[in-house]
Structure 1
Amino acid sequence: MTDEPTLGEVVRRFEDRFVDLRDDIQQLGRRMDEKVDQRIYDLRHEALGARVTTLETLREKDAERLVNTRRWVVGAVIVPLIGILLPVIILLVRGA
């Protein structure tokens, strides 16, 4: 008896390979469905870039507002307070 497979065995092996190939093609199709189209990727990337630019602009405005608030506090509160307390301190030191 020879080691060559029978015709039925060849057909079964071929069908098994065909089923494996079909499963591989289906998996590949599912993976391709999950892949993002380049145009959609570009649009999302542009939108993200615009969002980052907007957030950076807002951050710069907030930093500028903080600087202005500090200047206001110094100008409206601390300078007049020093103007009032400095003569009193000088009078107390000279009078003592």
Structure 2
Amino acid sequence: MGDEPTNGELARRLDAGFDDLKEDMRTLAGRLDTKVDASLLALQQQAQDDRHQALMMRVGAIEEERAREAERRQQEQREAENRRAGDKRLILTALVVPLLLLLLQVYLASRGSSG
């Protein structure tokens, strides 16, 4: 009987076990209070997915607008290049051709008066 605990020691061990059990129950209760309900979590995730989808749509619209703006700029550049080419042709016909005609007339006049 020397190895067996006394009644008082058994009572102390049981009280310590109950105290540990109570502390564990308090910890679990605290964790359960902070736990999110599954339906609430699903609603939050759905709301987050909706926000994400809306943002993706806005980003897509912005990208499309930028692409249209880039296309407009390219079109304007092509038009400007065409105008420049037209201006070059105009300069050629308005300035150079009359000058060449004048030189031709002077040349023909000088040949005609000497011959």
Normalization by structure 2: what TM-score?
Answer: 0.71
Match of 1:56 in 2: 56
Gaps of 5+ in 1: none
Aligned mates of 2:38, 2:81 — CA distance in 1: 64
Number of residue pairs matched by the alignment: 91
Q: CA deviation at 1:81?
A: 1.5
Match of 1:69 in 2: 69
SS of alignment partner, residue 36 of structure 1:
coil
Matched, 1:38 2:56: no
d(CA) in 2 for partners of 1:80 and 1:62?
Answer: 25
Structure 2 residue ranges without an equivalent (≥5): 97-115
AA matched with 2:26: Q
Superposed, 1:1-96 pairs within 5 Å as 2-75=2-75, 77-87=76-86, 88=88
Say what the alpha-carbon RMSD is for the aligned residues.
2.0
Q: Identity over the aligned pairs, expressed in percent?
A: 28
**What whole-Å deviation, never above 9, does each CA across 1:8-61 have from its counterpart, x for those lacking one?**
000000000000000000001111111111111011011011011101111110
Letter in 2 for 1:42: A
1: CA distance between counterparts of 2:68 and 2:79?
18
Larger radius of gyration: 2
Distance in 2 (CA, whole Å) between partners of 1:59 and 1:23 is 52
Give the letter for the 2:60 counterpart: E
The Cα of 1:80 is off from its aligned counterpart by: 2.4
**DSSP 3-state at the match of 1:4:** coil
2:108 is matched with none
What's the CA shift for 1:86?
2.3
